Amino acid sequence: MTEFVSLSVDAGVGTIRIDRPPMNALNRQIQGELLAVSEEAASRADVRAVVVYGGEKTFAAGADVKEMASMSYADMAPVSRKLSAGLGAISTIPKPTVAAVTGYALGGGLEVALGADRRIAGDNAKMGFPEILLGIFPGGGGTQRAARLIGPSRTKDLLYTGRMVTAQEALEIGLVDEVVPADEVHSRSVEYASQFAAGPALALAAAKKAVDNGLDTDLRTGLDIESELFAGVFASEDAKAGMVSFVENGPGKATFTGR
């Protein structure tokens, strides 16, 4: 059982809920729970897409500074990779994922959101990496995922200044993909994720893997990865059903089983 992170499922969409009032500070316990719940979401056949949500008021205001304040290099060195794994756990789910961001998504909170495939933010969202103001910098994947998403120059601006960006600026620089009224964030995120609930799960997972793994290498190797994964989906029942349906009935009418 987990205390602060839970998984609920409705019509194929799993919601991973972070709930540690008042600000969802991401201590080591939550980092471990994010790993455990992400593994559960990945393994459950009834979960076809995932929304990660921190509640109506805030997504997550960052790592628990009180917990880290007394740590030395000797304390942090053996656990830093665990921190990165926990805050990046959403990225390991081989299914479409959406971060539903309301209020603050700062430091570790933004790193959790960056692990999702898509970020939908409320118009009240404030996002950034304030770690530099504490004399440190993001260590949960922020430097790498942000740079791949919005480029090195914009990422360095956020890292160096520690400033917060509004939802509108986040949209303009590509840090989020959509901005909606704050009270519609979760429902809109579920709506987006729901379109994949009856989709070809193996093809979706392969497409995600092709993009993610391809970004970590050169173009030629990325194309090889794509080719292997593309051939692999032809072993699925959904590929056969989808192509037969297209030939017989036209596009968009196939029924997929996820196998």
Active site members: 111, 131
Residues 6+ apart with CB under 8 A from 21: none
Parallel/antiparallel/unpaired status of strands 5-10 and 13-18: antiparallel
Residues 6+ apart with CB under 8 A from 77: none
Q: How far apart are CA 58 and CA 49, in angstroms?
A: 22
Query: 127 burial class (0-12, 13-18, 19+ CB within 10 angstroms)?
Result: buried
What's the half-sphere exposure (Cβ side, CA atoms, 13 Å) at 52? 34
Q: How far apart are CA 179 and CA 176, in angstroms?
A: 8
Give φ, ψ of 127 to 5 degrees.
-130, 150
